[in-house]
Amino acid sequence: MTWKPTKKLFALAMAVGLLAAACGDDDDTTTDTTEATEQTTEDTAAEFEAGTTMADIAEAGTITVGVKYDQPGFGLQNPTTSEVEGFDVEIARLIVEAIGEDVEIEFVESVSRNREPFLQDGTVDLVIATYTINDARKQVIDFAGPYFVAEQDIMVRADDETIESVDDLNGKNVCTVTGSTSATNVAASAPQASVTLLDTYSQCAEAMTDGRVEAVTTDNTILAGLVQASDGEYKLIEAPFSEEPYGIGLPKGDDDFRNFINDRLEEIFESGEWAEAFESTLGAIGLDTPEPPEVDRYTETPPAPTTTAAP
Ligand code: GLU
């Protein structure tokens, strides 16, 4: 006879897990909640209504996900294996395994400026790429999440003593990326900065090594990865000047898919799988695991912002 666990058993397993956690028995908690979540995944996969994106993907057996390829900790292509690795990649896996254990993910490199176009023209089904949720982007795509909240910060050469806050960027040569909120934010917060816009943050890091720019600005978590990879050449200022809630981008108007992803995010926040994914990726570059953020299930597209510069 095949053992068929039920949702009741899942609830029981969760309760046991929580009890074990309360008793300080961390090892048991991890095992219990992981097994329980695997079961929920199987239950969910069988329940998709025909015509939903989840049913279509389960039937096709593949999904395309846009991620970064040059951001240590989030999405980085391993030069030896060519596999892409990082927190965003793990989040993709955790979402997709709830559609079907056998669904294959085809990762597609997305730089900041092509994330909305890739979702609009169908190049990718999802974008999970350090992608800030904002009203300008919600005009053309939708977001599940957030699943993480970063802050914009500044990276300089380790021996630089002249830049200690965003104000100090005025009059300096600064690099950031086309189509990013980092570009919009630095233009607003340091209007006298001379901003070089490139395609990727790794190109900005090279521009600093070459002496073409004096600072790179974007999310602190992206910069933390570049600082670690620089082997003492760069440092992070740690003077954040914006909040960047990361969402999962999906085509506009697919509310069933958005609800499904939001449900799954809440499930992995609860089960500990989100924290495990964080520890094994961003934890390895020295970041402490935060509390997961609260999912925002917005029901209407907000009005478009009036500034023309916002990406
Ligand atoms: N989170 C910001 C954004 O979505 C900056 C990082 C990036 O460009 O990926 O624009």
Residue by residue, pLDDT tens for the chain (311 residues) are 333 333 333 333 333 333 333 333 333 334 444 444 454 444 444 589 999 999 999 999 999 999 999 999 999 999 999 999 999 999 999 999 999 999 999 999 999 999 999 999 999 999 999 999 999 999 999 999 999 999 999 999 999 999 999 999 999 999 999 999 999 999 999 999 999 999 999 999 999 999 999 999 999 999 999 999 899 999 999 999 999 999 999 999 999 999 999 999 999 999 999 999 999 999 998 899 999 999 999 999 999 988 644 45
Q: Which residues does residue 246 pair with via DSSP β-bridges, in sequence order?
A: 132, 148
- Rounded Cα distance between 149 and 275, Å, is 14
12/122 Cα distance (integer angstroms)? 41
Mutate to test the pocket of ligand 1, among 127, 204, 222, 226 (most ligand atoms within 8 A of CB): 222
| pLDDT value for 306 | 80
Which CA distances in Å does 183 have to 36, 149, 169, 304? 43, 18, 13, 18
CA of 54 to the centre of ligand 1 (A): 27
CA angle 92, 19, 276 (to 5 degrees): 25
What does the DSSP 8-state code read for residue 14?
H
Residue 180 alpha carbon to ligand 1 centre in Å? 5
Atom of ligand 1 nearest to the CA of 181: 10
Strand segments (E) across the chain: 62-67, 70-71, 75-77, 84-85, 104-109, 126-127, 141-157, 173-177, 194-198, 215-219, 234-236, 243-251
**Rounded (5°) CA angle 218-200-230:** 70
Predicted local confidence at residue 307, as pLDDT? 64
pTM of the model: 0.84
> Which atom, in ligand 1's list, is nearest to the CA of 244?
1
Which pLDDT does position 111 carry in this prediction?
Answer: 97
Whether ligand 1 lies within 6 angstroms of the CB of 218 is answered as yes
The confidence score (pLDDT) of residue 46 equals: 55
